[in-house]
Amino acid sequence: MLTASGSGLDPHIPPLAAQQQAARIAAERKLPVEKITVLIVVI
């Protein structure tokens, strides 16, 4: 999935795009992927 914004950062990504990045974010933050998934669902 490819998206872009003027600043290069987009805080308004679709839930599917967030879910696709969950494992990478969890690994970088040293968190269980389940915590990231919960945040995606809640937010």
Q: Are 9 and 16 in contact (CB under 8 A)?
A: no
- Sorted by where each begins, the domain ranges of the chain are 13-43
Separation between Cα atoms, residue 37 and residue 27, nearest integer Å: 13
Please tell me whether the overall predicted TM-score, pTM, comes out greater than 0.75 for this model.
no
pLDDT in tens, 4-27: 666 666 667 888 989 999 999 999
User: Do residues 16 and 1 lie in contact, with contact meaning Cβ atoms separated by under 8 Å?
Assistant: yes
How high is the pLDDT of residue 6? Answer: 63
Instruction: Please tell me the predicted confidence (pLDDT) of residue 29.
Output: 95
Name the amino acid, one letter, at 41.
V
